[in-house]
Each structure stands twice: as structure tokens, then as C-alpha cells.
């Protein structure tokens, strides 16, 4: 188990050093900002969604290694996916981080995202790992809400 944990840690550190999709996105049609005051993590997420498919995803921001790695891997895991699948993935990741583990099936479904399963043991860091995912939900679903009076 400790070898696995070390591997997970290396993946997180690698994504922190070289975050994927770390840029602004010209022509993004969904954006959202997320902030985790507990740790100071900030993220701005950019999505291009066409025909209910996430064509492109990118992010900018600053924060701890976990928040950055989570945003890096989150964007990488949603590009090319239908928004319904993205929602399902959000729920699986959220369940992994906030509930008791339910075995290998859960980990297999999550693929590389399973590296964050160890975060569950550090309750103060869970929000670092979920920030990107909550921001994703805001970007995908917040825009549909009638927020403008214009």
C-alpha cells in the first residue's frame, strides 16, 4: 500500500510541476471561478462546450500541489466527453473523496483519478482536491441559471 501511495504522490507532484491544460482558452463559452479559502487555492476554468460535448478545457490559477494537480487531471479527463459523462465522473470523484472506499471497482472506474483517493485521509485537503470539480460544475450548470437581469 505504501508503494502505491508513493506512486500516487509522484503523479500528483508531476502534475503540479507540469500542469496540463494550464492556459487561458480563446473562445471558451463556459467559464467559472473557484476559491478555496481554507488553503488559498484559486482556479479559473475555461470550457468550450459544443453539442453537449466538452471540446476543450483549460485552467489558470494558483494554489497548492493538490489543487493544481486536481485541475490538471480534471481537465485532461473531461476533454472529448459528453457533459452527462462529465457529471457522472464528478459524482464518482466526489464519492471517492468524501465517502468510505468501496473497493477496486470504484478505483478502476476512476482510472488515473484514483491517485486522489489518499487525500481522503487528510480532511483539510479534501477541498483542495474537489475545488476544480466544483468549479467545473459551476461552469457547466451555472450558466443556465437566470443570473442576468439584462
Cβ of residue 116: shortest distance to Zn ion, in angstroms? 12
Cβ of residue 68: shortest distance to Zn ion, in angstroms? 8
Nearer Cβ to Zn ion (25/43): 43
* Residue spans of alpha helices (H) in 36-125: 65-78, 83-98, 104-110
Per-residue cell: 22: 494550464
Nearer Cβ to Zn ion (39/138): 39
Cβ of residue 120: shortest distance to Zn ion, in angstroms? 15
- With 0-12 / 13-18 / 19 or more C-beta atoms within 10 angstroms meaning exposed / middle / buried, residue 55 is middle
Q: Do residues 97 and 74 make contact, with C-beta atoms less than 8 angstroms apart?
A: no
Cβ of residue 36: shortest distance to Zn ion, in angstroms? 6
Nearer Cβ to Zn ion (32/132): 132
DSSP class of 111: G
What is the binding site for Zn ion (CB under 5 A)? 39, 41, 64, 67, 128
Cβ of residue 38: shortest distance to Zn ion, in angstroms? 7
State the sign of the Cα–Cα–Cα–Cα dihedral 72, 10, 112, 116.
negative
**Measured distance CA(44)–CA(34) in Å, rounded:** 6
DSSP class of 2: H
Nearer Cβ to Zn ion (49/69): 69
Q: Which of 14, 135, 144 is nearest to 75 (CA)?
A: 135
Nearer Cβ to Zn ion (2/124): 124
Amino acid at each position: 500500500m505504501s508503494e502505491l501511495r508513493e506512486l500516487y504522490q509522484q503523479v500528483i507532484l508531476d502534475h503540479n510541476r507540469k500542469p496540463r491544460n494550464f492556459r487561458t482558452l480563446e473562445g471558451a463559452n463556459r467559464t467559472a471561478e473557484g476559491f478555496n479559502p481554507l488553503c488559498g487555492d484559486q482556479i479559473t476554468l475555461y470550457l468550450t462546450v459544443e453539442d453537449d460535448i466538452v471540446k476543450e478545457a483549460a485552467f489558470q490559477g494558483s494554489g497548492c500541489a493538490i489543487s493544481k494537480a486536481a485541475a490538471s487531471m480534471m481537465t485532461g479527463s473531461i476533454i472529448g466527453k459528453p457533459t452527462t459523462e462529465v457529471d457522472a465522473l464528478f459524482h464518482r470523484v466526489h464519492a471517492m473523496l468524501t465517502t468510505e472506499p468501496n473497493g477496486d471497482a470504484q478505483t478502476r472506474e476512476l482510472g488515473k483519478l484514483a491517485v486522489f483517493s489518499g487525500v481522503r485521509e487528510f480532511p483539510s485537503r479534501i477541498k483542495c482536491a474537489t475545488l476544480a470539480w466544483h468549479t467545473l460544475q459551476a461552469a457547466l450548470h451555472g450558466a443556465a441559471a437566470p443570473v442576468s437581469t439584462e
